[in-house]
Structure 1
Amino acid sequence: MLRQVKPKNARTKRVMDKREPKVVEGAKIALFLRGNATSQLVVDALHDLYALKKPFAVNFQKKNPILPFEDSSSLEFFSEKNDAGLAVCATHNKKRPHNLAWIRFFDYHVLDMIELGIVDYKPISSFHTVPIVPGTKPMMLFQGPSFDSHPVFRHVKSLFLDFFRGEPIQKLDSAGLSYVIVVSAGEASDDETQALPKVNFRVYSTKLLKSNTNLPRVELEEMGPRLDFSIRRVQAAQADVLGEALKKPKTQEPKTKKNVDVDLVGNKVGRVHVDQQDLSNLQTRKMKGLKRSAAEEEEEEEESEVEDEDVVSDVE
């Protein structure tokens, strides 16, 4: 842990105030690290992921003796030094070739980790598309039922959403939706002996074309990187630490109103209580088409008279 120091000037105080916890957190800084042994493939993949994350990223060019699952002290040191909440560590060895360890921090301590091995890779340089504007927020799409049912794939979904979410915004122009990240996977089996399906990571640029409506016609073109991951080691967050990390401040909790709820889509739904009503005397609209003719009224009167005579005879 870094020692706590008192600010000696205004500049140091501004830096320390910037690191203080906030009600609405901004984009998380991600560290891109290299282990002692790396391959050119995993270094190129790390560079492409860094291009997607810029400017909220710090790229380390030198190698570091980091083993995320064995010793996390170095990761926590770098996290506190750079005020980073995320990290990606690239390693390569015979047992786990072309390896990327995705780490998430809470209070500068490792919260959870997942290790993904690169099975197939095609860099951004292989695609002839317009480069990404740094700081652009991507659209995220997860295809496959496993991302909602299987715990490991729910972990992958949560980590990717946290990694690429960017700055919180209130309004967004359609022209700012310049690319889409699509993460897909097959259906995972509950049998632990069977291998988990691969995670396919694709990035597409959007083209807004003219249409006959007010909304533009959208076409997708792959822009890279194209990555296929195999899931290796997973370290889930501890229940008590996760509960502390997900705790919301009281200022962000919505104020509850009586008989007013919000559904899953975000629409406000109200509940109104009324007394029991007698609908027999309800005045309805009189329509000419529903008015009975004189012949029908005479038939009804004759029928009612016959029924009355039958009742009188039965009584006698």
Structure 2
Amino acid sequence: MLEIKTPKTRRAKRVIEKRAPKLVENGKKTLILHGTKTSNVLNAVLTEIYHLKKDNSVKYTRRNDNIRPFESGGETSLEFFSLKTDCSLFVFGSHSKKRPDNLVLGRTYDHHIYDLVEVGVENFKSMKSFSYDKKMAPQIGSKPFFVFIGEGFEGVEELKHLKEILLDLFRGEVVANLNLAGLDRVFVCTAVSSNKVFLTHCALRLKKSGTVVPRMELVEVGPSMDLVVRRHRLPDDNLRKEAMKSAPELAPKKVKNVSRDAIQGKFGKIYIPDQQVGETALPYKAKGLKRERREAKMKGEANKQVVKKPKQDS
């Protein structure tokens, strides 16, 4: 039987409470690792990915001989590092004659491998190779835009999977409200072919347009590279359903007689009871009613006088 270790210090208790499941989870952290052998290009790619995600990423520079994500038993060390650093995303770089400049992008669920995409890096250009005003450089912690160009992201299974992982990798923490000043960069992904994607990073310049919405200009700041999809592994259906579960407390409460439409927006039905107009009290009495009642009263008194009999003497 496995031995269950309980925390003995307050610091260890705080760490365990921080990693415990929550209704609203923390932002996803990224683990960056090197394989047995890496090239200069791959070292530059991993370093620049770390700079783009410096606020929520962990980078190890030591070589790892035992990590082979696509092989059975080769993911044990990777899952150990994921548990140790509390990272749910990882980028693993390796270089070999069969697969040069190889990047493995993946996600974990409960610190076990969830899905994987293996890509090859070609035509890499670092940030230093672009000349631009350094004041325009994107700030750490800012939110990026994403642009996916090409039909392959909707029809090709490999590119659809790569799109999901790229969104998770670079979008940062999920927030409810955004400030326009905090949107200062954009990732442009272009599907060149059924297995090749051109990825570039641009800065946004906001200029006056004469309206409330400013005019935007894109300035390429790097890095840029071509990603050639080699292998990918989708999660099992049962594992996907388990990972997509959400707490019932976060489910929106259903409001009766209210529905939403893509065109009309929010609309609903209001119940109004039948109005009895005849029984409704009027705020004033019309003069005609007063005259009719006065005439009816006088007529009734006259009839009483005629019907009244005279008294008889005994």
* Range class of TM-score, shorter chain: 0.7 to 0.9
2: CA distance, partners of 1:161 / 1:207: 22
Query: Is 1:244–2:242 an aligned residue pair?
Result: yes
Q: Deviations over 1:221-261 (max 9, x none)?
A: 00100010110011110111111001111012122233433
Q: 1:155 to 1:8 in 2, by over 3 A?
A: same
Structure 1 residue 4, shift from structure 2 partner:
5.2
CA contact (8 A) 2:38 2:93 kept: yes
Q: 1:72 to 1:271 in 2, by over 3 A?
A: farther
Aligned residues: CA RMSD: 2.2
Structure 1 residue 39, shift from structure 2 partner:
0.4
Question: Identity, % of aligned pairs?
Answer: 39
Q: Look up the SS of the partner of 2:219 in the other structure.
A: strand
Q: 1:88 to 1:264 in 2, by over 3 A?
A: farther
Structure 1 residue 3, shift from structure 2 partner:
7.3
2: CA distance, partners of 1:262 / 1:83: 39
2:163 maps to a residue whose letter is K
Structure 1 residue 273, shift from structure 2 partner:
9.5
Structure 1 residue 98, shift from structure 2 partner:
0.4
CA contact (8 A) 1:114 1:234 kept: yes
2: CA distance, partners of 1:122 / 1:54: 19
Residue of structure 1 in register with 2:47 after alignment: 47
Structure 1 residue 265, shift from structure 2 partner:
8.3
Match of 1:197 among 191, 195, 198: 195
- Taking structure 1 as the reference length, what is the TM-score of the superposition? 0.78
Match of 2:221 among 223, 229, 233: 223
Residue of structure 1 in register with 2:164 after alignment: 158
Q: 1:208 to 1:10 in 2, by over 3 A?
A: same
CA contact (8 A) 1:52 1:132 kept: no
CA contact (8 A) 1:118 1:229 kept: yes
1: CA distance, partners of 2:58 / 2:201: 21
Structure 1 residue 182, shift from structure 2 partner:
1.1
Structure 1 residue 58, shift from structure 2 partner:
0.4
Q: Look up the SS of the partner of 1:223 in the other structure.
A: strand
Residue of structure 2 in register with 1:67 after alignment: 68
1: CA distance, partners of 2:175 / 2:213: 22
For structure 2, which runs of at least 5 residues remain unmatched after alignment? 273-314
Give the number of aligned pairs. 265
Residue of structure 2 in register with 1:285 after alignment: none
Bigger Rg, which one: 2
Q: Look up the SS of the partner of 1:225 in the other structure.
A: strand
- Taking structure 2 as the reference length, what is the TM-score of the superposition? 0.79
Query: Is 1:181–2:183 an aligned residue pair?
Result: no
For structure 1, which runs of at least 5 residues remain unmatched after alignment? 188-195, 275-316
Q: What does residue range 258-269 of structure 1 map to in structure 2 within 5 Å?
A: 258-263=256-261, 267-269=265-267
Structure 1 residue 269, shift from structure 2 partner:
4.1
Residue of structure 2 in register with 1:141 after alignment: 147
Residue of structure 1 in register with 2:253 after alignment: 255
2:11 maps to a residue whose letter is R
